[in-house]
Copies of this chain bind each other. A is one copy, B any other.
Amino acid sequence: MIIVLKDGHENIIDEIKSRFTETNEVFVHNNRVAIQGVSEDDLNAEEKNTIDLIIDNVPAAVQGSRLFHPEDTIVTTPHSQIGGDNFTMMAGPCSVESAEHVMKMAKVAKSGGATVLRGGAFKPRTSPYSFQGLGEDGLKFLRAAADAYDMDVLTEVMDQDHVAMVEQYTDIFQIGARNMQNFSLLKAVGKTQTPVMLKRGMSATIDDILNAAEYIAAGGNHNIIITERGIRTFDNKYTRNTLDVGAVPVLQKLTHYPVILDPSHAAGHTEFVTPEALAGAAVGASGLVVEIHDDPAHAFSDGAQALKPDEYRAMAQQAFAIRQVITTPIQEKSEVKL
């Protein structure tokens, strides 16, 4: 149950909190108090008096819910404001390959309007014998490249024991699709205040994502970004995954966290990345995270889905233009009126 207090009754919050905290989860946001496992009948007369509205049927992932927190969360990093009216471009190589290469890719990323540089130093590979990333060295190269171009760093943390170390280098943790329900890892990043980009698992439902995000929020970290990156369906002959663009407005309705879209892992093949990226801009995502490479054929990982610099800049230009289209108020032309 969420109770919305009447104006001027916020002073009662501490009382309510202390009354229920021992036996129930209690969360407060402005004049809203969420109390789990409690119904209207559990409130006393005085409390009922202070209440403007009672919301039942609250999802388990209450802290992430719009019912509890109606306004958009804006995740703030040194170089970006993610969410709300902003449209954030995040780009970079799949893997950090060398200090020089990631520096070059940072320049490309920046040239397309990106404010966040992505790059993997610890890679979750399907096979244990595939390239597993450069590790901490990679993080150093990535940080240097981002700094050189005044960008934020976004990089994956796969291991709860690496959280403190990775945090030294990154502005945003990425939790990968395979770890979306690695609850120990979610709890570990939940204990920091560094923003977390949580990627949707391959077969995660909308509710699963929101509950995974709640594991982070439950630890006290509310700087959460949710990323749609394609789901597993019955047909992956021509694309690696099925981009679920509909998940973007659905999530935006249910949660206040910014929702961005990763067309690279969804498409899996360069030729389909740009159309899917533009679909993401049109559907209203708060940003895009894309993989770029100047020589995809020799990329250390996932070259098949990397945009080349020119392709990336062309995509970015169109994506920003589409963002403008959908955020410009509709001009109701007189002749179209009935």
Chain A residues close to B by CB (< 8 Å)? 25, 36, 60-61, 107-108, 111-112, 124-130, 158-161, 178-179, 181-185, 187, 201-203, 205-208, 211, 214-215, 218, 231-239, 242-246, 248-250, 253-254, 266-267, 271-272, 275-276, 278-284, 309-310, 313-314, 317-318, 321-322, 325-326, 330-333, 335-338
User: Which residues of chain B have C-beta atoms less than 8 A from A267's C-beta?
Assistant: 246
Cβ contact of A112, chosen from B107, B246, B254, B336, cutoff 8 A: B336
Q: Is the CB of B253 within 8 A of A242?
A: no
Q: Is the CB of B317 within 8 A of A321?
A: no
Q: Is the CB of A127 within 8 A of B60?
A: yes
Q: How far is the CA of A245 from the CA of B247 in the complex (A)?
A: 12
Q: Is the CB of A184 within 8 A of B203?
A: no
Q: Is the CB of A250 within 8 A of B239?
A: yes
Given contacts A111-B336, A184-B158, A184-B160, contact A126 B211 (CB under 8 A): yes
Cβ contact of A205, chosen from B25, B181, B237, cutoff 8 A: B237
Q: How far is the CA of A269 from the CA of B154 in the complex (A)?
A: 34
Cβ contact of A322, chosen from B111, B322, B338, cutoff 8 A: B322
Q: Is the CB of A161 within 8 A of B158?
A: no
Q: Is the CB of A336 within 8 A of B322?
A: no
Q: A245-B276, A249-B271 are in contact. List 14 more A-B contacts (CB 8 A).
A: A126-B207, A127-B211, A160-B161, A206-B238, A231-B233, A234-B236, A243-B244, A246-B276, A248-B275, A249-B276, A278-B284, A279-B279, A313-B332, A314-B332
CB distance from A181 to the nearest CB of B (A): 4
Cβ contact of A275, chosen from B126, B233, B272, B282, cutoff 8 A: B282
Cβ contact of A278, chosen from B111, B238, B283, cutoff 8 A: B283
Q: Is the CB of B207 within 8 A of A107?
A: no
Given contacts A330-B317, A338-B108, contact A129 B25 (CB under 8 A): yes
Q: How far is the CA of A244 from the CA of B232 in the complex (A)?
A: 12
User: Which residues of chain B have C-beta atoms less than 8 A from A283's C-beta?
Assistant: 275-276, 278-279, 282
